Amino acid sequence: MWRLFWANIKMTFRDKQAIFWSLVFPLMFIIIFGLFNFERMGDAKYIALDNAQTDTSSQFLEGFTNIEFLKRQEFTGTLDEAKTQLTDGDIDFILVIPELFRIPKVGEDIPGMPPIAVYYDESNITVNQVALSVVDKFVDSMNMQMAQTPQLFTYQSESIQTKDIKYIDVIMPGILGMAIMMSAIIGISTGITRYRECKLLKRLSATPLKVRNFLVAEVLSYLAVNILQITLIILLAQLAFKVNVYGSYVLLYVICIISSIIFLNIGFAVAGYAKNVKTAESLSQVITMPMMFFSGVFFSTETLPGIVARIVEYLPLTPVIEALRAVSLDEKGLVDIWVQLAFMGGWIIVSFALAWKAFKFKD
């Protein structure tokens, strides 16, 4: 059995497809998502046309220069020329300060003061929301000054130290679960189907090798590869992108090993139904792809429609990712993730029953 175990390890690392799904594929996702800084908003370029040229208008525009992501562009042209730049996508919005824009003196009345005009590209939703809220804030501030009302309400701010959780910290546990699922289901289903196509299983049945020993060697070899896979993903995420793991590493590995058993059973079930390697690959993709996108690897399942979200809760990958995130981000222990572990235990039973019914050592 142990000789077969080492033989399987060697064959795995000689199989380019197995190496891709086990190691390269998940590491690609870590690198791609790690390179994006989701906490940083892109710069918004704008043109300001100050028709008032007053201290009030200068004060108003000076407030915009203090906002880091707003970048004022040098411009001396007309409003129509500015609109052309907006249409061409060179800028994100235009501010036009009216001529009568100033704070009146005490007792002075400025009738019919025209509003500040803001022109923006409606397709750039994120920039529009932030830019318009900034304009609204400054206009309210100027109105308060003009009304000269006393400041009745104030607030006191106090910062509380919390965990520095980045988007890549949230994505990493999802990629761990995805990597285990892909390598286990695709690896075991295509590998066993290839053995059957080559009549290797039939030949092994004529040897003193017990079927039990063969299957144990297969499972142990894939678990060993999964442990290496998990280690590489965590190391790359931490060394390259400073990913934080707040919980127990031991518990992370335990969850990953339990999930590996689930997906290996599913892989054996697929190998039982598939007649050739191409069919095994196709069936594996049909099973893994929906879970990769619906089980919360990249996006929260809470954003799904109600009935879909309820169905997704019962997919085998969903409790795995929930448990991994609970441990990695919230420092949860075994007691805290008992619901997810119960679901995973149920899936071990269900997947084993499917594999037992579908998989046959010989044709």
pLDDT greater than 90 at residue 149 = no
List the one residue out of 11, 352, 29 whose CA is nearest residue 179: 29
- Tell me whether residue 248 is in a domain: yes
List the one residue out of 218, 317, 333, 231 whose CA is nearest residue 264: 218
Q: What is the pLDDT of residue 155?
A: 43
- Tell me whether residue 78 is in a domain: yes
Q: Are residues 236 and 317 both part of a single domain?
A: yes
Average pLDDT on 114-133 reads: 72
Q: Are residues 248 and 322 both part of a single domain?
A: yes
What's the pTM?
Answer: 0.67
* Banded model confidence at residue 287, pLDDT cuts 50, 70, 90: very high
- Tell me whether residue 82 is in a domain: yes
Q: Are residues 115 and 170 both part of a single domain?
A: no
- Tell me whether residue 259 is in a domain: yes
Strands 117-120 and 70-72: unpaired
Average pLDDT on 129-155 reads: 62
pLDDT tens for each residue of 288-315? 988 988 888 887 777 778 788 888 888 9
Q: What is the pLDDT of residue 96?
A: 85
Least confident range of 26-30, 138-142, 216-220, 271-275: 138-142
Q: Are residues 341 and 200 both part of a single domain?
A: yes
pLDDT greater than 50 at residue 154 = no
Could you give the percent of the chain with pLDDT greater than 70?
78
* Banded model confidence at residue 256, pLDDT cuts 50, 70, 90: very high
Domain end marker among 141, 174, 202: 141
Here the CATH number for the domain that contains residue 56 is 3.40.190
Q: Are residues 211 and 106 both part of a single domain?
A: no
Q: Are residues 82 and 23 both part of a single domain?
A: no
Q: Given the structure tokens 């009304």, which residue do they identify? A: 147
- Tell me whether residue 160 is in a domain: no
Q: Which residue has the higher pLDDT, 204 or 171?
A: 171
pLDDT tens for each residue of 214-253? 778 888 888 888 888 889 889 988 888 888 888 899 999 9
Mean pLDDT, the chain, rounded, equals: 79
Q: Which amino acid is at 334?
A: L
Q: What is the pLDDT of residue 162?
A: 52
pLDDT tens for each residue of 80-108? 898 888 888 788 888 888 877 766 555 55
* Domain span holding position 112: 44-141
Q: What is the pLDDT of residue 108?
A: 53
Q: Are residues 331 and 188 both part of a single domain?
A: yes
Q: What is the pLDDT of residue 318?
A: 92
Q: What is the pLDDT of residue 183?
A: 85
